Amino acid sequence: MIEIKNVRKKYPKASDYALESVSFSINTGEAFGLLGPNGAGKTTLMGIITTLILPTEGEVYIDDEKITRLRTDIKRKIALVTQHVSIRRDMTVNEVMELAGRLYGLPVKKIRERTKEILQFTDIYDKRKLVARGLSGGMQRKLMIARALLTEPRIIVLDEPTVGLDPHSRRRIWDLLVSLKKKGITILLTTHYIEEAEKLCDRVAMINKGRVSEIKEPDCMIAELGRYTVDIFENDKTRSLFFDSREAAVEYAKGISSDLKLRETTLEDVFIAKMGAELGEKE
């Protein structure tokens, strides 16, 4: 279990807090999505959980033990896949894995065994002799996940693992995350692909301006907004209205003369509705 307790972060020279007293827990084996606009504090929070960034206040506990930079034993349980691709482009896939293993002090025999297993699992084994530069964006992302799995972490933290990938590559990464979840690995991730988070995550948190506003199951958030959406297209704008039942939505739609569409509500609607409300947007 990950417990985040009253974490605040103010970067040197910044006038505002990047994180304002954030507290919540993530259960063992859970897939947890952190959703928020640019600059919300997602990367900062992930950095603090993995000790890359020091909090100004507060602490993080992993299985009831406080994680600090010196606790390499706890740090081994948790791996971070960063937002930006961070692999040496002149190294082969095998070399990237070996270097990471050596940095963690794993015996070479163990590194080789694990590398084969993980590269097969992540479906890049046939690329093992290629230099990273020669890999597609999707494969580079897979390699980052593969590298993170080397120490057999129980928790994997992924900061926008599918950013900039085409739909096929994205789907492959999400399939990979589903298999990690099936293995019982706890997943914490951020993404702007909210539909994908809706499918994978047991719970999601909405974060904006350093504050975590709400933590719930995706389906529960959708039900609260209203399971059915009527999109009304008028004057080059789309206005969406939400209803608890299809009947209520149909009844409303009957009285509208503009172009419209009735559909099921998604988590993305919830995100847009909540973030729009926080930004003070009007319809």
Ligand X SMILES: Nc1ncnc2c1ncn2[C@@H]1O[C@H](COP(=O)(O)OP(=O)(O)OP(=O)(O)O)[C@@H](O)[C@H]1O
Residues in contact with ligand X by CB under 6 A are 11, 14, 18, 36, 38-44, 83
| Angle value at C-alpha 117, between 112 and 118, nearest 5 degrees | 95
Which residue minimizes CB distance to Mg ion? Answer: 43
Longest dimension (CA), the chain: 71
| Closer residue to Mg ion (CB): 106 or 177 | 177
Smallest gap, in angstroms, from Cβ of residue 218 to Mg ion? 21
In angstroms, how far is CA 65 from the centroid of its own chain?
23
Work out whether 92 is an interface residue with Mg ion (CB under 5 A).
no
Smallest gap, in angstroms, from Cβ of residue 81 to ligand X? 14
Q: Tokens standing for 37?
A: 């606009």
Cα gap 60→53, rounded to integer Å: 12
Question: What residue 41 binds from Mg ion, ligand X, none (CB within 5 to 8 A, per partner kind)?
Answer: ligand X
Cα gap 91→99, rounded to integer Å: 10
Q: Which helix (H) or strand (E) holds 82?
A: none
| Closer residue to ligand X (CB): 69 or 109 | 69
* Three-state SS letters, 118-140: HHHHCCCHHHCCCEHHHCCHHHH
Work out whether 43 is an interface residue with Mg ion (CB under 5 A).
yes
Q: Tokens standing for 4?
A: 């985040």
Smallest gap, in angstroms, from Cβ of residue 168 to Mg ion? 24
| Closer residue to ligand X (CB): 101 or 210 | 210
Helix-helix angle 137-148:93-103, to 10 degrees = 30
Cα gap 104→126, rounded to integer Å: 25
- One-letter amino acid for residue 215 of the chain: I
Question: What residue 118 binds from Mg ion, ligand X, none (CB within 5 to 8 A, per partner kind)?
Answer: none
Binding segment (CB under 5 A) for Mg ion, from list 72-80, 81-89, 115-123, 168-176:
81-89
Smallest gap, in angstroms, from Cβ of residue 27 to ligand X? 23
Smallest gap, in angstroms, from Cβ of residue 256 to ligand X? 36
| Closer residue to ligand X (CB): 78 or 119 | 78
Binding segment (CB under 5 A) for Mg ion, from list 78-86, 148-156, 195-203, 205-213:
78-86
Residues 88/125, Cβ–Cβ less than 8 Å: no
Question: What residue 161 binds from Mg ion, ligand X, none (CB within 5 to 8 A, per partner kind)?
Answer: none
| Closer residue to ligand X (CB): 114 or 170 | 170
Q: Tokens standing for 79?
A: 């791996």
| Closer residue to ligand X (CB): 36 or 161 | 36
Cα gap 207→9, rounded to integer Å: 14
Binding positions for Mg ion, rule: CB under 5 A: 42-43, 83
